[in-house]
Amino acid sequence: MVHRELAVKHYARSATLLGAALISSVLVGHLACGSGGGIPALDSEGTVGRYTSITIGSDGLGLISYLDSGPGLLLGGTATSVEAEFVYGSPLESGSGSLKVAHCSNADCTIATTAILDANGEVGRDTSITVGSDGLGIISYFDVGNRDLKVAHCSNTECSSAAMSTVDSEGDVGRFSSIAVGSDGLPFISYWDIGKSTLKVAHCEDLACSTATTATLDEDGRVGMYTSVAIGTDGLPLISYFDIANKDLKIAHCTDAECSDGTTATLDSEGNVGQYTSIAIGSDGLGLISYLDGTDSDLKVAHCLDVECSRAELVTIDLEGKFGRYSSVTIGGDGLALVSYWDAEKGDLKVAHCDDMACSSASTLAVDTHSNTGWYTSIATGNDGLGLISYFDFAELDLKVFHCPNATCDRDEAQR
């Protein structure tokens, strides 16, 4: 774990009110201080960029949701611990917070327009973004102040404003949300019921998710953290998540589009495994999950052996250090998986490019080595077939984006 001394960041923001959002001017990326290849910050207005999620909009450009923590955030001592984030009332969860988006202005996402969508209370954690069947962005996120699951439906392609809805307010709910568009064209969300420690799902009843039907999918013990959802080739949601009590990686396969019921299975029970899950459907039509092996601090993947993912082949793809936190997986233009994640030992953003569809082996490399960076990674495949990664630079307290120069995301190879 990389520890840093106390840091405070202040800024002055000039903004105008447009609809329901605060819109800032176009941000021109500036080079971050220190070494690490000169990857610019996309947003540096205050403490911004935790809980990022990225998708490719209907205009072919990146669209990123993330937390704006306000003009100052104290970080130091035990507050730098990853585990501290998930304790209610911890230094990293208390304080102000707004839901913010950045709409990339080019394919490389070197500049973007930003907007604050929801500043009503303490909101914007655990964001997840996708593009709805109406071509507009839709974001699930956690309302810390009210302990609710919320959704923001963008009003235009740039997401300069949005309509907000509270999807679930029954108890203490909404952490670790993940959103996808179901085979019926409606948004579908997986998330953690914190109070009951169960896995819940919400099936939206319209494109904006102004209302939704919710259900508890797994209540066997203490389960449901670190959810990630994808729609399988059978048209049904497939959800990866962490079994807290047994420290296992679990999977849930819905039996219908609404996910009124489903089957669950334990995929990996070797030690403390299954945190920071991310799931994608591979080019072979089967699920592929990246996650943390907490026992050995390794990055692992599980390749499903059937559509329901009742069984999986398990592989450790990065083990020489402390890897696997904040993992995110996408399928690149070459048909192979690309995983972004954090190197907790060196404080780097790393990427793994799988060598085959099952990811039985992979090439790994650090793509941003600037001080302590690479937190909260999220990866998507752009229209150019290359990876686009959003992440948080802890040293500068900024949102950053890295555009892979080739299929393997190897900067050195691209420069040769």
CB 225 within 8 A of CB 240: no
DSSP string, 51-102: EEEEEE-TTSSEEEEEEE--S---B-GGGG-GGGGGSTTSTTTSS-BEEEEE
Q: Which two tokens stand for residue 128?
A: 């997840």
What pLDDT, on the 0 to 100 scale, is given for residue 414? 57
Residue 380 — very low, low, confident or very high, per pLDDT cuts 50/70/90?
very high
Task: Give the separation between CA 230 and CA 160, rounded to whole angstroms.
Answer: 26
Q: Residue 153: is its pLDDT beyond 90?
A: yes
Average of per-residue pLDDT values in the chain? 87
Q: Residue 187: is its pLDDT beyond 90?
A: yes
What pLDDT, on the 0 to 100 scale, is given for residue 6? 24
Task: Give the separation between CA 45 and CA 24, rounded to whole angstroms.
Answer: 10
Task: Give the separation between CA 180 and CA 73, rounded to whole angstroms.
Answer: 31
| Of the candidate ranges 62-76, 198-212, 249-263, 394-408, the one whose mean pLDDT is the lowest | 62-76
- pLDDT average, residue stretch 367-374: 92
Q: Which CATH number fits domain 16-415: 3.50.50.60, 3.40.50.300, 2.120.10.10, 1.10.10.10?
A: 2.120.10.10
Q: Residue 82: is its pLDDT beyond 90?
A: no
Residue 29 — very low, low, confident or very high, per pLDDT cuts 50/70/90?
very low
Residue 72 — very low, low, confident or very high, per pLDDT cuts 50/70/90?
low
The single residue listed with the structure tokens 């398990």 is: 314
Q: Find, among 355, 229, 217, 353, the residue nearest to 280 by Cα.
A: 229
Distances (CA, A) of 239 to 310, 348, 388: 12, 28, 23
- pLDDT average, residue stretch 363-368: 96
Q: For the chain, how big is the Rg over CA atoms in Å?
A: 19
What pLDDT, on the 0 to 100 scale, is given for residue 411? 76
Q: Residue 19: is its pLDDT beyond 90?
A: no
SS3 assignment, position 155: coil
What pLDDT, on the 0 to 100 scale, is given for residue 26? 38
- pLDDT average, residue stretch 81-87: 40
Q: Find, among 361, 409, 398, the residue nearest to 112 by Cα.
A: 398
Q: Give the whole-number percent of the chain exceeding pLDDT 90.
A: 81
Q: Residue 53: is its pLDDT beyond 50?
A: yes
What pLDDT, on the 0 to 100 scale, is given for residue 321? 82
- pLDDT average, residue stretch 77-95: 40
Residue 415 — very low, low, confident or very high, per pLDDT cuts 50/70/90?
low
Q: Residue 23: is its pLDDT beyond 70?
A: no
Top-confidence residue, 88 or 230: 230
Task: Give the separation between CA 209 and CA 154, rounded to whole angstroms.
Answer: 11
- pLDDT average, residue stretch 102-113: 97
- DSSP class of 7: B
Q: Residue 33: is its pLDDT beyond 90?
A: no
What pLDDT, on the 0 to 100 scale, is given for residue 38? 73
- DSSP class of 13: -
- Between the two ends of the chain, the Cα-to-Cα distance in Å is 33
Top-confidence residue, 289 or 10: 289
* Beta bridge partners of residue 366, listed in sequence order: 350
Q: Residue 32: is its pLDDT beyond 80?
A: no
- pLDDT average, residue stretch 269-291: 98
| Of the candidate ranges 45-49, 158-162, 267-271, 317-321, the one whose mean pLDDT is the lowest | 317-321
Q: Residue 94: is its pLDDT beyond 90?
A: no
Q: Is the dihedral of CA 274, 82, 179, 333 positive or negative?
A: negative
> Angle at the Cα of 154 (from 153 to 159), degrees rounded to 5?
155
Quick one: 141 exposed, middle or buried, by C-beta within 10 A (0-12, 13-18, 19+)? buried
What pLDDT, on the 0 to 100 scale, is given for residue 273? 97
Residue 47 — very low, low, confident or very high, per pLDDT cuts 50/70/90?
very high
Q: Find, among 115, 176, 93, 90, the residue nearest to 141 by Cα.
A: 176
User: pTM score > 0.95 for this model?
Assistant: no
